[in-house]
Structures are given as C-alpha cells and as structure tokens.
Amino acid sequence: MGTDTVGNGRKVHDMRVIIVDDDATFCRFVAEVLEDEGIEVEWTTEGAECWRRWSAGAFDLVISDVYMPTMLGTELISRLRESDPGARAILVSAFADQALIDTSRALGVALLSKPFDRRRLLELIAEVTNS
C-alpha cells in the first residue's frame, strides 16, 4: 500500500474515516495508521458522538468497536444504515464469537477481531471501500 491509494486504487486523499471506541488509546492507534496512509481521520470514544458527527459530515467509512458503554457498535451501524443504506462500516471486537459474526453478516458489515495488525486493517479498509 502506498501513500496515494488503498487497495484497488481508491485515492486516500479523498477518504474520510471516523473511528469510535471507548478506548482512546485504540482510537489513537488506528488514527495514526490511517493518517500515515494519508487518510483524513476523526475519532471519538462515544457512539452517540460518532452518530452526530456522521450525520453532520461526509465520511466514507466508520470503524466501530462493538461493546461500548453508552451505545453498542451494532446499534450505531443500524442507525447509520437506516439513514444511509450505503454507509460503509467495519466492526471491531476482542470478543468475536459466532453470535457477533452472525450479527455483522446480518448488518452487511465486516468484522475485524482484535488484536490485528496494520496490514490487515488496511486490507480490510480497501475491501470495504472498494466494494
């Protein structure tokens, strides 16, 4: 992956991503990886704040933790899809059991198990945003 494209040639300078996880350290890690690729990033630790920002801004992708105190990532994705059926999303979780795998499939979103490495994150972003 270069600094000009992700995956199948999507121009990263045109990509905006919002990250939501109740762990600020995780948000900063993912933001740093994406910013190193030239992707514009915002992040928050609250699902409701992510929803507000998504509704007010133009994002290409949301990367959301599943288990957060005030709003589950699955609830957030459901809301996003109600308002924007084409919303692209990746759910992340350290607890990716079969029930969560089934839920992510039902929502039509990718599921990434924690921990993951930089390469896998970027590959999945390319898959999701080029589909």
Domain locations in the chain?
5-119
**Per residue in 30-43, pLDDT tens?**
999 999 999 999 99
pLDDT for 5 beyond 90: no
CATH code: domain 5-119 is 3.40.50.2300
Residue 71 gets which letter from DSSP? S
| Mean pLDDT for the stretch of residues 75-103 | 93
Q: Give residue 119's identity as a one-letter amino acid code.
A: R
Q: How many CB atoms lie within 10 A of CB 28?
A: 14
Strand order in the sheet with 89-93: 40-44, 16-20, 61-65, 89-93, 110-113
pLDDT score, position 71 = 93
pTM as predicted: 0.88
